[in-house]
Amino acid sequence: MEHAKLYERLAERLSNLEKFPRIKEEKSIAALMEEHGINRRDFMKWAAGVTAMLSLPSTFTPLMAQAAELTDRLPVIWLHMAECTGCSESLLRTDAPTIDSLIFDHISLEYHETLMVACGWQAEHNLESAIEKYKGKYILMVEGGIPAGSSEFFLTVGPHGQTGQASAKKASESAAAIFAIGSCSSFGGIQAAHPNPTNAQPLSKITNKPVINVPGCPPSEKNIVGNVLHYILFGTLPALDAYNRPKWAYGLRIHDLCERRGHFDAGEFVQEFGDAGAKKGFCLYKVGCKGPYTFNNCSRERFNQHTSWPVQAGHGCIGCSEPGFWDNMGPFEEPLGDRLYHTVYGEGADKTADKVGVALLTVTAVGIAAHAAIAAVKGSGKTEE
C-alpha cells in the first residue's frame, strides 16, 4: 500500500479509537511523563525510534505518538504460566521508568498476577469479569510455557485449582489478539527442555486461534511494547515469519547487524574469555556466540533504552529467541561446530554461516560466504513482506 493511503487508513483508525472512552481514570500519558521528567521532545524522539523499528516511514511518527497516547483504550489481560517472570521484569524492572515502561503503566492492565493487588478468590473473580466485560476486545498476553499434563506434574492457578492450560485456553477464546510473550510461551522454553517433565507446550499448541510469538528469554521491552503499538495502529496481524514472529523484529539475524561483525569477517576471534582478543572486542563466535543462527533485533535495538546487549557486554548470543534453544544451542560457550542446525529458513543458510565461522576462511571468502548466507535467508523467506 502506498504510504499516503496507509497513513490515511491508520489516522482514521486512531481517530475512531479516540472516540472510545478511556478505560482508566488515571492520568494521561503526557501527565505521567511530565511527572517523571520526560518532556514532549523526548517523547517524540522515542516515537520516531519506534516508528523506525517498525519499519515505517519517519512521517508516521505523529501517528505513533498518538497510538501511545491511546494505549489506555486497550484492555490487556496478562497470564503467567510456567516461567521465571523475566518477561514482565524486562518491561518493569528499570531504575528510572522508561517511556516503554510508562506505556505499560498506561495500558489498561486488567489482570497481571505480579502487579495486581488482588489475590486468591478476588483475583480469580477479576480475571473472569475482565474476560466477560471485554469479550472480543482485549489483548491477551501469555508469559510462560504451559504444562499440558499427562504426567504427575502440572500447573494449577487460583483457589479453584484450574489448570494453567484451561485458563490460557479460556482467555484465548474471547481475545481480540493474542501474544505469546517470551520464548517459554512462544516455544515452550526451559520447562519444555529435555526431558520436559510437565509436558510444557507453547501457547500456539493450546489454542486454535492465531498467536503472535514474541520470543526471547526475556524479549526486550522494545519488542513487547512495539507489538502493542503495532496492534493499536493497524489492528491486524503483522507480517510473520515461519515461526509466527513479527518480521519487523525478527526478520534479521543477530549476526547481520552485530557491532563485532567486522572482526568475524576479518577472522579476528576471541579464543577464550579474558584474552587479548576479548579486550579488543573481537568476534565471540569461537566462545559460543549463536548470533549467526538467531533471528532477533538485539544488535540493532539493544536493551534498557539502547544501553547494551549480551554481545556488547562480552558474552555471545545464546540464541534465546529460537525454538528449543535450551536443547539445541548448547553448550552455550562453545561453537556449534559442524552440527547442522535447522533454522526457520532451512538448514542451507546456516550451514554456510557455520562453516564460515569454523573453517576461518580467507577474509574475502568469509565476506562472500556470509553475504551469500544472508542472501539465501532473504531469498527463501516463505511469508509475505
Q: How far is CA 214 from the centre of its chain?
A: 3
CB of 186 to ligand F3S, least distance (A): 12
**Which residue ranges are tagged as binding site for [4Fe-4S] cluster?**
84, 87, 184, 217, 255, 258, 283, 289
The nearer residue to ligand F3S, 173 or 259, going by C-beta atoms, is 259
- Pick what 86 binds: ligand SF4, ligand FSX, ligand F3S, none; C-beta below 5 to 8 Å, kind-dependent: ligand FSX
Site for ligand SF4 in 240-269 (CB under 6 A): 254-255, 258, 260-261, 264
- Helix, strand, or coil (residue 105): helix
Alpha carbon distance 194, 324 (integer Å): 9
Between 141 and 329, name the residue whose CB sits nearer to ligand F3S.
Answer: 329
Task: Tell me the window of 33-41, 186-194, 318-326, 354-362 that interacts with ligand F3S (CB under 6 A).
Answer: 318-326
Residue 323 touching ligand F3S (CB under 6 A): no
Report the distance separating Cα 17 and Cα 71, nearest Å.
10
Interface ranges with ligand FSX (CB under 6 A): 83-87, 143-144, 182-185, 189-190, 217-218
In the list ligand FSX, ligand F3S, ligand SF4, none, the entry touching 183 (Cβ below 5 to 8 angstroms by class) is ligand FSX
Cis peptide preceding 238, ω within 30 of 0: no
Pick between residue 283 and residue 311 the one whose CB is nearest to ligand F3S.
311
Helices (H) and strands (E) in the chain, counts: 19, 9
The DSSP-derived string for 226-287 is HHHHHHHHH-SPPPB-TTS-BHHHHSSBGGGG-TTHHHHHTT-B--STTSHHHHTT-B-GGG
Rule CB under 6 A: is residue 311 a binding residue for ligand SF4?
yes
Binding partner selected for residue 285 from ligand FSX, ligand SF4, ligand F3S, none, CB under the kind-specific 5 to 8 Å limit: ligand SF4
Q: What is the DSSP letter of 59?
A: G
Looking up cell 489448570 gives 163
Cα(278)–Cα(178) distance, integer angstroms: 42
Binds ligand SF4 (CB under 6 A): choice among 168, 240, 283, 349: 283
Q: What is the 3-state secondary structure (H, E, C) of 312-374?
A: HHCCCCCCCCCCCHHHHCCCCCCCCCCCCCCCCCCHHHHHHHHHHHHHCCCHHHHHHHHHHHH
Residues forming the site for ligand SF4 (CB under 6 A): 254-255, 258, 260-261, 264, 283-285, 289, 291-292, 311, 316-317
Residues forming the site for ligand F3S (CB under 6 A): 216, 254, 294, 296, 298, 309-311, 317-321
